[in-house]
Copies of this chain bind each other. A is one copy, B any other.
Amino acid sequence: MVAAKSPQTAAPNPTAPLLRKLEALGPLSSAEKDAIAGLPMTLRRYAEKGVVVRQGDAPDAVYLLVDGCVFRFAVVATGKRQIMALHVPGALLNLQNLFLKELDHNIEALIPTTIAIIPKEAIRGLLKGQPQNAMRLWHQTFIDAAIFRKWLVGVGRRSAYARIAHLTCEFFARMTAAGLSRGMTCDFPLTQGELGDALGLSTVHINRTIKQLDRDGLLLVRANLLTIYDWPRLQVVADFDPAYLELVEPTVARQ
């Protein structure tokens, strides 16, 4: 996804996106940084639509998203799919497997993706040896929970129009915090079908509503690229307040 923008030299260590994220929550000592950067890991590449974890799998490692984009989803009895989260680089995907054997949902790559596979024992050692880092990771899981709550609120109580606006606001803010946006544009790896599965809407209705947002001069999604036309007004329409993301930068307050 950023391959074009970040040649090999730009990724000195696979944990860089994670460190960036944790530093947004507070300063890290160099010992703490080193402990994370020094975790044993194996890099694995996934193709677009590659399966990272299947529901019911019991991974014996923790997965760190290094580059690309993944999503979690469940499938209900009627066959419909609900996407429950999107993740951008720096995310630890299955810390819960430190406690829970099996994952109760699926994780797949949206685009070609690199994941660092870190043995559970190494993570356990880190948590034990560096309580500060354990607290930071816990903190991050609370942020993830806050994002879940916003999604629930949107799906439960917002119109299709506001839901799409909110998701694009959140995604753009998170991409920007991860250093992956340019101006008011960023990669947008979701098809309209996937957008529907994330927002509890049909593909057809996504299509119509997204075009309405375009006609209204708010945003454009085209060729896997998101362009925000009117950031202030989009935030109003979306009822979006980025505070819950706890990002360092005041989220592209410019414009």
Interface positions of A (Cβ within 8 A of B): 25, 72, 74, 76-78, 80-82, 84, 95-96, 99-100, 102, 104-105, 127-128, 131, 134-135, 138-139, 141-142, 144-146, 148-149, 151-153, 155-158, 162, 199-200, 239, 243-244, 246
Contact = CB atoms under 8 A, between A and B. Distances in A.
How many identical subunits does the complex contain?
2
A169 B246 CA distance: 35
A56 to B, nearest CB: 10
Contact of A141 (B77, B84, B141, B162): B141
User: How would you classify the secondary structure of chain A's contact residues: helix, strand, loop or mixed?
Assistant: helix
Contact of A74 (B74, B84, B149): B149
B239 A153 contact: no
16 contacts: A77-B239, A82-B152, A84-B149, A95-B142, A96-B142, A104-B146, A127-B131, A127-B135, A131-B131, A138-B141, A141-B141, A141-B145, A144-B145, A148-B152, A155-B156, A155-B200
Nearest to A237: B77
